[in-house]
């Protein structure tokens, strides 16, 4: 027989979630090689959220099987009240598997999703929400303009062409330095970035006095939970490389995918030297590798052997 009454029965009210849940997906399996700086990158990402978010929010972090140093940092941040919801997965479920859990679990009406390597500038959330709430049938808003594949924003283009109150502009609206900073943070050589910059254009739409660039991306986006749930669950059989199905499926469903025209976020990748304000300063140039070493490492037989060895070692330590 039970003894006494559960004290929870006498609690008159419970905490209610904020309207916005900021959801961060994290994966840092170890702190060497590619991942040498990634714990600092995560700390910088979360720090920019804590410092530069201008609306009330709850923070949810889904950790996808990281090393103990990372877990210790996250649990300490939760103990300090900086993280409201912390989900620790023992295994790496891949991005799709993590999305299925965290995007469904986020309690807010609006989800601001980000990978763990984004840096956010002041007022990023309110200005992203302005785009989300001004334009009709918006699927996702990525908090900075950059050029995305046109085949993934045909729905927005069709809407703009058929809406009398919307006006379209095409041109080189993104400054070269800001364009270069983003693309090179993804590991693209500067020569290729320059070629893409000269061969492509920005497409902007203005509606009810607010301008936005067509396109968005899966690495960071703001959306209504009711919309993103329509695309769950995601079935992905690899940890990465298949996430563009969100971009594709949302466009095929007729949703607008947009970006503010201001630079409100920056991708850091796995290095901290890409943290800068695109409106104020160019990124710190990456050190130039030794030309001879670079040619040797890019030689097909050497590259195949070294990458194969790297993959084998990674699997020995971290594959199931």
Give the number of other CB atoms < 10 A from CB of residue 67: 17
Q: What is the mean pLDDT of residues 182-203?
A: 90
pTM (2 d.p.): 0.84
Cβ atoms 258, 128 nearer than 8 A: no
Q: What is the mean pLDDT of residues 266-273?
A: 85
Q: Using CA atoms, how far apart are residues 174 and 182, in angstroms rounded to an integer?
A: 11
Closest CA to 115 of 271, 274, 272, 269: 269
HEC letters along the chain:
CCCCCCHHHHCCCCCCCCCEEEEEEECCCCCCHHHCCHHHHHHHHHHHHHHHCCCCCEEEEEECCCCHHHHHHHHHHHHCCCCCEEEECCCCCHHHHHHHHHHHHCCCCEEEEEECCEEECCCHHHHHHHHHHHCCCEEEECCCCCCCCHHHCHHHHHHHHHCCCEEEEEECCCCHHHHHHHHHHCCCCHHHHHHHHHHCCEEEEEECCEEEEECCECCEEEEEHHHHHHHCCCCCCCCCCCCHHHHHHHHHCCCEEEEECCCCEEECCCCHHHCCCCCCCCCCCCCCCCHHHHHHHHCHHHHHHHHHHHHHHHHHHHCC
Per-residue model confidence (pLDDT) at position 4: 63
The confidence band for 320, taking pLDDT boundaries of 50, 70 and 90, is low
- Angle, helices 68-79/38-52, rounded to nearest 10 degrees: 20
Q: What is the mean pLDDT of residues 164-185?
A: 91
Which tens digit of pLDDT belongs to each residue from 240-268?
456 778 899 999 999 999 999 999 999 99
Q: Using CA atoms, how far apart are residues 107 and 249, in angstroms rounded to an integer?
A: 23
Q: What is the mean pLDDT of residues 172-191?
A: 88
> What residues does each domain of the chain span?
20-274
Cα→Cα distances 319→38, 69, 292, 312, 315, Å: 20, 19, 34, 10, 5
Which tens digit of pLDDT belongs to each residue from 59-97?
999 999 999 999 999 999 999 999 999 999 999 988 889
Which tens digit of pLDDT belongs to each residue from 141-173?
999 999 999 999 999 999 999 999 999 999 999
- Least-confidence region, from 27-36, 71-80, 280-289: 280-289
- Least-confidence region, from 95-109, 174-188, 215-229, 243-257: 174-188
Which tens digit of pLDDT belongs to each residue from 91-139?
998 888 999 999 999 999 999 999 999 999 999 999 999 999 999 999 9
Cα→Cα distances 115→43, 147, 172, 229, 295, Å: 12, 19, 27, 18, 32
Share of the chain above pLDDT 90, in %: 66
Per-residue model confidence (pLDDT) at position 237: 64
Structure tokens at 178: 């800001």
212-157-256 Cα angle (round to 5)? 60
Per-residue model confidence (pLDDT) at position 299: 72
Per-residue model confidence (pLDDT) at position 188: 84
Q: What is the CA radius of gyration of the chain?
A: 21
CATH superfamily of 20-274: Spore Coat Polysaccharide Biosynthesis Protein SpsA; Chain A (3.90.550.10)
């Amino acid at each position: 027989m039970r003894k006494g009454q559960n004290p929870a029965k006498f609690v008159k009210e419970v905490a209610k979630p904020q309207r916005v849940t900021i959801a961060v997906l994290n994966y840092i399996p170890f702190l060497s090689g590619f991942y040498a700086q990634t714990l600092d990158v995560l700390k910088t990402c979360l720090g920019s959220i804590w410092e530069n978010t201008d609306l009330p929010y709850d923070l949810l972090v889904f950790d996808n099987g990281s090393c103990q140093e990372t877990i210790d940092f996250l649990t300490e941040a939760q103990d300090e009240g900086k993280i409201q919801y912390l989900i620790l997965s023992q295994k790496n479920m891949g991005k799709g598997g993590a999305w299925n859990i965290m995007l469904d679990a986020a309690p807010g009406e609006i989800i601001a999703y980000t990978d763990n390597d984004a840096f956010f500038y002041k007022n990023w959330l309110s200005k992203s929400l302005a785009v989300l709430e001004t334009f009709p049938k918006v699927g996702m808003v990525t908090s900075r303009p950059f050029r995305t594949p046109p085949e993934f924003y045909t729905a927005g283009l069709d809407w703009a062409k058929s809406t009398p109150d919307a006006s379209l502009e095409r041109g080189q609206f993104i400054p070269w330095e800001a364009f270069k900073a983003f693309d090179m943070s993804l590991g693209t050589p500067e020569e290729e970035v320059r070629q893409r910059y000269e061969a492509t254009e920005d497409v902007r739409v203005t509606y009810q006095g607010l301008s936005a660039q067509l396109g968005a991306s899966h690495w960071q986006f703001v959306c209504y939970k009711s919309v993103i749930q329509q695309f769950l669950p995601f079935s992905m059989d690899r940890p990465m490389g298949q996430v563009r199905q969100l971009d594709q499926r949302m466009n095929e469903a007729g949703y607008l995918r947009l970006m503010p025209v201001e630079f409100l976020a920056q991708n850091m990748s796995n290095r901290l030297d890409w943290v800068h304000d695109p409106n104020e300063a160019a990124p710190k140039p990456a050190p130039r590798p030794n030309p001879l070493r670079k040619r040797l490492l890019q030689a097909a037989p050497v590259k195949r052997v070294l990458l194969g060895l790297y993959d084998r070692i990674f699997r020995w330590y971290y594959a199931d």
